[in-house]
A and B are shown apart, each in its own frame.
Chain A
Amino acid sequence: GAVVSQHPSRVICKSGTSVKIECRSLDFQATTMFWYRQFPKQSLMLMATSNEGSKATYEQGVEKDKFLINHASLTLSTLTVTSAHPEDSSFYICSASRSSSYEQYFGPGTRLTVT
């Protein structure tokens, strides 16, 4: 149990376009989902925390208008990278947790390449 999926696994988009990444909890209800970004050979950087039905909380330095997060249901959160630029190319990873639980279940990640 506690499986998290992401879609797509890889995406290539042109500079200036927007791309949406989905994160789904497949067999549990996730009251909280997290989005991380990871550059090559670096650590995971927490971007934002989203709770179902409310606005996401962004970490310092993360542009909320550029990285739109929607947590519309207990099993789905989406991250939209708007007006993507090559420097947005990265590995984006989501995680999900149940209510009253510290444990996070991670998705497999999405590799975004902006050309």
Chain B
Amino acid sequence: GESVGLHLPTLSVQEGDNSIINCAYSNSASDYFIWYKQESGKGPQFIIDIRSNMDKRQGQRVTVLLNKTVKHLSLQIAATQPGDSAVYFCAENWNNFNKFYFGSGTKLNVKP
């Protein structure tokens, strides 16, 4: 499959600060994206999604931004909490009914 997000950075933030996690995707035909959170030893959990006809979508404490021009996604977490510590993945879908390819992920460490 296509590769999404070719890095695995680690982001350390202080509790209460805002976090921004980035993802670069490679397939310009991708039209649907999901951010997942994965805690150690567990399966991914859905956080928020966005379709390519939007450039921003907000949820509870989270916002996803999509820049199709540079094929970039970001996940913003407001007032980061220790429970937000996990690995975050973006996943993309293109014309392929519910089949997703995952990026390499970012580990978020929240310091108390």
Which A residues lie at the B interface, using CB under 8 A?
4, 32, 34, 36, 41-46, 49, 59-60, 91, 93, 95, 97, 101-104, 106-109, 111
Contacts and interface: CB of A to CB of B under 8 A. Distances in A.
A97 B98 contact: yes
Contacts of A106: 36, 43-45
B44 A44 contact: yes
Contacts of B22: none
Contacts of B45: 106
A34 B102 contact: no
Contacts, number: 54
Contacts of B105: 42-43
Contacts of B83: none
B81 to A, nearest CB: 22
Interface of B: 1, 5, 8, 32, 36, 41-46, 49, 89, 93, 97-105
B89 A43 contact: yes
Contacts of A107: 43
A34 to B, nearest CB: 7
Nearest to A32: B98
Nearest to B89: A43
Given A93-B44, A103-B46, A104-B98, A43 B1 contact: no
Contacts of A45: 102
Nearest to A110: B43
A93 B43 contact: yes
Contact of B42 (A59, A103, A108): A108
Contact of A34 (B32, B36, B99): B99
8 contacts: A36-B102, A44-B44, A46-B1, A49-B99, A93-B43, A102-B32, A102-B97, A107-B43
A44 B102 contact: yes
A46 B93 contact: no
Given A93-B44, A106-B36, 5 more contacts: A41-B8, A101-B98, A103-B46, A104-B98, A106-B44
